[in-house]
Amino acid sequence: MSEIGGFALVLHSHLPWLPHHGTWPVGEEWLYQAWAHSYLPLVDMLRRLEDDGYRDVLTLGVTPVLAAQMDDPYALRGMHDWLGNWNLRAQYAAVRWRGDDPRLREVAAAEYRASATALTEFETRWRHGFSPVLRPLVDGGVVELIGGPATHPFQPLLDPRVRAFALTLGLDDTALRVGHRPEGIWAPECGYAPGIEDDYSAAGVRRFLVDGPALHGDTAFARPVGNSDVMCFGRDLEVTYRVWSPKAGYPGDTAYRDFHTYDHPSGLKPSRVTGRHVAPHDKKPYEPALAADAVRRHAQDFVDTVAQRLRDLNERHGRPGLVVAAYDTELYGHWWHEGPAWLEAVLRGLPKAGVNVTTLRGAIDAGYVGDPADLPASSWGSGKDWRVWDGAQVADLVEANAALQRDLLDLVDTLGGPARDATLDQAAREALLALSSDWAFMVTKDSAADYARRRAKVHFERYAELSSLLRAGAPTRAAARAADLRRSDGVFGGLDARALRTHE
């Protein structure tokens, strides 16, 4: 069967820095849930595909701040404890539901099997962190790894010096962990400002993602941006939204496991969606066979949708085109329990339909490249502009972040010496953590907004404390406080604040 065009799946794996910053309902628990239900199954799937001879399976974005957490000894211990607790909760549910509906007992048994498998996998393959697990998949050409700025800041709102510093730090950190410096990035929130491609080019970045509307929906080819040699890829929303859109998508099917309905004594999720307007206590027990049927149906629908889209593009352009479907990794498994099974069925089914499954790098090599494009200021957020991160609801955060950047740059320019300074490094580290795009997103979307505001405030105040001590001529006290802060916020050990300076 001749190939009808290319398909590039891009997964964006990201969580803000969470160790030592709360546990439940938002905090470390967020990390451990995504780790258990998304990252472990994804790696397991990729290993199976590798064993079956698949290469260039997908483009995997892993933000430096997420990779750092999954290599962190404290988080590794916490994750091991969490998996053990998951196993105990499943055993408790089996006893609690002993005389209930047999479908509930099967839920408990399935959770016990899944937690036991995850524990074994974690103890045998993950005990030294994520990087040793990820590197063979990158070395073997199973995935293309893309990175990003260190703490996932919304780049259009950064001072150019801070922007370059965060990006270079993130790319260097990935190279240190995995042995490959990414040539592609998932720009945080797909945030773009005209001219940012020049920064990318200077940092060695050759390709990045934008949302489809930034290209007016013309996403059939990678396109050089402006006069640069940097390529942008646009998400094909016509295809992407088959899976998940602001209003609909496969995970809402009545047979899939309901994300929001808990059995609170055990912490398990025993119900299926049942119906959009069905109250939690009226939802029916989860049935794996029904969910498996839905996975097969939706995987085939997606394969058919991609194939038809590529035939349409071929007819329109007179040559094979490309479909880019891009999602948060955490959708698969954490939010959508059946997502990993659906992913594997799709990745196995597309080649049989004549689709060239490839990576962003592979798409360029295959010639899915179009004419240069001039991009507008954009993001993948509401309105496809910057309102989520620069709107009225977060105006105070935007103002505080701008002031923080000005103070940071002045601090390193006026007080920094020729030698590396661990106190200045920690001040820069706290500043980058305060600048994470997650805080504004969570506030605007009213998703754990109190936690987000508290986190932004904590890091801003920690930065301000170090800056004040240094400016007051108290370097000994500043150094002691910086050492204390590193115990909880010691991410990116290679961070060197001297790189922020405008002079040697």
Phi and psi at residue 149, to the nearest 5°: -65, 155
Instruction: Please tell me whether the peptide bond between 25 and the residue prior to it is cis, using omega within 30 degrees of 0.
Output: yes
Over the Cα atoms of the chain, what is R_g? Answer: 23
Query: How far is the C-alpha of 387 from the C-alpha of 382, rounded, in Å?
Result: 7
Helix (H) / strand (E) element for 407: namely helix 395-415
Which pairs from 411-418 meet CB under 8 Å and 24+ separation?
Answer: 411/467, 411/470, 411/471, 412/497, 412/498, 412/500, 412/501, 413/501, 413/502, 413/503, 415/470, 415/471, 416/497, 416/498, 416/501, 418/504
Give the dihedral sign, CA 402/406/409/412. Answer: negative
Given 28, 72, 106, 189, which residue is catalytic?
Answer: 189
Hey, which bits of 230-380 come out as E strands? 231-234, 322-328, 355-358
Q: Which of 328, 330, 430, 489 is catalytic?
A: 328
Structure tokens at 261: 């309905």
C-alpha 130/C-alpha 117 separation (Å) is: 17
189: annotated active-site residue: yes
Residues 6+ apart with CB under 8 A from 431: 162, 404, 405, 408, 459, 463
Q: Which of 236, 47, 11, 280 is nearest to 146 (CA)?
A: 11
Three-state DSSP class for residue 21 = coil
Q: Which pair of structure tokens corresponds to residue 89?
A: 């909760």
Q: Are 294 and 312 spatial neighbours (Cβ–Cβ below 8 Å)?
A: no
111 is an active site residue: no
Report CA-CA distances (Å) from 428 to 171, 378, 389, 483: 17, 27, 21, 13
Range 283-311 burial, b when 16+ CB lie within 10 A, else e:
bbbbebeebeebbeebbeebbebbbebbe
Nearest alpha carbon to residue 374 among 219, 254, 214: 214
Between CA 229 and CA 206 the distance in angstroms is 7
Closest C-alpha to 55, from 142, 136, 135, 128? 142
- Give the catalytic positions in this structure: 189, 328
